[in-house]
Amino acid sequence: MSDQELQFMKSRMEQLLIERGIHLDHDEMLSELAQLGCVVDMEKKDVRFTKELIDKAVAAVPEKFTLYSPSGKYDLEFPNPTGSFYTRTNTGAPNYRTVKGETHYTTLEEVDEWYKITNVMENLDYVTLPSTSGEYVPGDAVDVYTLEKALKHSAKHIWIQPYESDNVQWLIDMAAAAVGGLKNLQEKPIVSFISCGVPSLTFKHMDAEVLYRCAKSRIPVQPCSLPTAGANTPVTAQGTAFVACAEVFAQIVMLELMCPGLPVIATTLLFNMDMQSTYTLQSNTEITIARLICMELFERGYNIRAHSYGTGTDSVVMDEQNFIERTNLIDAMAMSEASVLGGAGQLETAKTISPLQLIIDNEIFGIARRIRRGLDVNDETLDWDELIAGLDKDPSFSFLTSEHTFRHFTEPHRPDMFNRDSPVNWELEGSKTLLDKALEKFNAIMASEDVYELPADKAAEVEKVLKEAHKALVK
């Protein structure tokens, strides 16, 4: 966006929240927002904001914060000190595509498998909860059972998506148990939560409960919008970006009013409906541009960290369309101002996760990070001295033996699983494709020891909360 368009978007978004507002199905939160100065209609459950409250909330968003990891080895400082972005795995997909190509609902054993892989992927920074099926664990407590696995086995920060209103506090309690209590969790949050708005500018009780309980417990939130252009938001990518940003911004305002200084990451995960098939798509070209608009609005417009999809596809298999779409998406998003790019391991418009795709996305994220880092331009990188002196003194001068080459030849990025050799050597090494190499890496990871396990005393406390949650939640 131009500066004029950016200011126009901010102005219209704030105007929408002041004049039209949102619908919020949560009586406790409505009462508290009314006490804080919001214009609240308790009967209709509508909330409107004032310009003063919006400005107050934006001023309260912390410019710097850290999301911590269970192992202590993968803590995430925001803004990223390197100027790069952080990455995460996909969330919400109910299906698991095994390395044999079989697709079924996700099991708890596959959740273990998933975290064993993510722990050793150097370009994956934090993880989500795979959507374990209610066929394998009690449906009323799917998220609680899956979080227990994450807390026991993930070395990296955990992003939690609750599935029931009653489960939110249990999820917080379980995370607290893993670190020795709520105070420790507040000081070093190893988890953050997702909350969403569906339908447009409406927050159902479960997502309002996430906002309310996290604000009360001082747990970071990555407030999210999941709009579909042409279905529940305007058909134009611009209109969908606008509504998504407004939904996320409203959540940030409410969180900062209830809990000033709470770490937040604006998360706009945009989709659009194909009007010929009526199928929901993730990788439409215009919706990718809309994601760039969202990142710019929050990062440049408000200095609030922002998060969107960095990889994904509408293809149902790991074919050519899959790789074209996900690399096109990550290349565009790598050059945006996003602080987090997500979706690693997903296929079929985020409905399926694949361990092989996860391993390949680790390589794709590495390339994207190299793109974001850019190139320094100075006399050393231009090789100015040799260009001035060397060529004139020796017409047969070769850069292959240059001192400058010796200083810099290791710098070009070399993805671990990509072929960088001749066809002859490729054939001698077995003519392996990218998928072959991904399968090899998968098997090597599965054969190795886990790199992280929650200490036994903390694991016992987590199990205790799980048993209590089961009694309270499972009907």
pLDDT band at residue 397 under the 50/70/90 scheme: confident
Which residues does 430 contact at the CB level (< 8 Å), separation at least 6?
436
Domain regions of the chain by residue span: 3-58, 64-374+461-469
Q: What is the pLDDT of residue 388?
A: 84
- pLDDT tens per residue across span 209-242: 999 999 999 999 999 999 999 999 999 999 999 9
As given in the structure block, the two tokens for residue 8 are: 């126009």
Q: CA 459 → CA 107, 147, 226, 297, distances in Å?
A: 20, 12, 34, 41
Cα separation, 84 vs 82, in Å, equals: 5
Average pLDDT score over residue span 454-473: 98
Cα separation, 209 vs 7, in Å, equals: 32
Cα separation, 47 vs 23, in Å, equals: 6
Task: Judge contact between 187 and 155, C-beta under 8 A.
Answer: no
Quickly list DSSP for 407-431: HHTT-S---TTS--S-HHHHHHTT-
pLDDT band at residue 29 under the 50/70/90 scheme: very high
As given in the structure block, the two tokens for residue 331 are: 């290349």
Which residues does 272 contact at the CB level (< 8 Å), separation at least 6?
228, 229, 230, 235, 237, 240, 280, 281, 284, 286, 287
Phi, psi angle pair for 304, to nearest 5°: -110, 130
Q: What is the pLDDT of residue 230?
A: 93
pTM: 0.95
Average pLDDT score over residue span 190-210: 94
Q: What is the pLDDT of residue 48?
A: 98
pLDDT band at residue 198 under the 50/70/90 scheme: confident
Phi, psi angle pair for 417, to nearest 5°: -100, 5
Average pLDDT score over residue span 446-466: 97
Assigned CATH topology for domain 64-374+461-469: TIM Barrel (3.20.20)
Q: What is the pLDDT of residue 391?
A: 66
Is the pLDDT assigned to residue 129 strictly greater than 70?
A: yes
Amino acid letter for position 443 = N
Q: What strands, in cross-sheet order, belong to the sheet with 280-281?
A: 228-229, 271-273, 280-281
Least confident piece of the model among 86-100, 256-270, 389-403, 406-420: 389-403
Average pLDDT score over residue span 445-451: 96
Cα separation, 368 vs 353, in Å, equals: 21
Q: CA 112 → CA 20, 121, 434, 455, 457, distances in Å?
A: 45, 15, 24, 16, 20
Q: What is the pLDDT of residue 467?
A: 97
Radius of gyration of the chain (CA): 24
Average pLDDT score over residue span 144-149: 98
**Of all helices (H) and strands (E), which one includes residue 232?**
none
How many residues does the structure list for the chain?
Answer: 475
Phi, psi angle pair for 307, to nearest 5°: -150, 135
Is the pLDDT assigned to residue 395 strictly greater than 90?
A: no
- Name the percent of the chain lying above pLDDT 70: 99
Q: What is the pLDDT of residue 475?
A: 86
Cα separation, 118 vs 140, in Å, equals: 27
Average pLDDT score over residue span 57-62: 98
455 prior amide bond cis, ω within 30: no
Cα separation, 191 vs 186, in Å, equals: 10
- pLDDT tens per residue across span 257-267: 999 999 999 99
189 prior amide bond cis, ω within 30: no
Is the pLDDT assigned to residue 175 strictly greater than 80?
A: yes
Cα separation, 350 vs 93, in Å, equals: 6
Cα separation, 192 vs 422, in Å, equals: 46
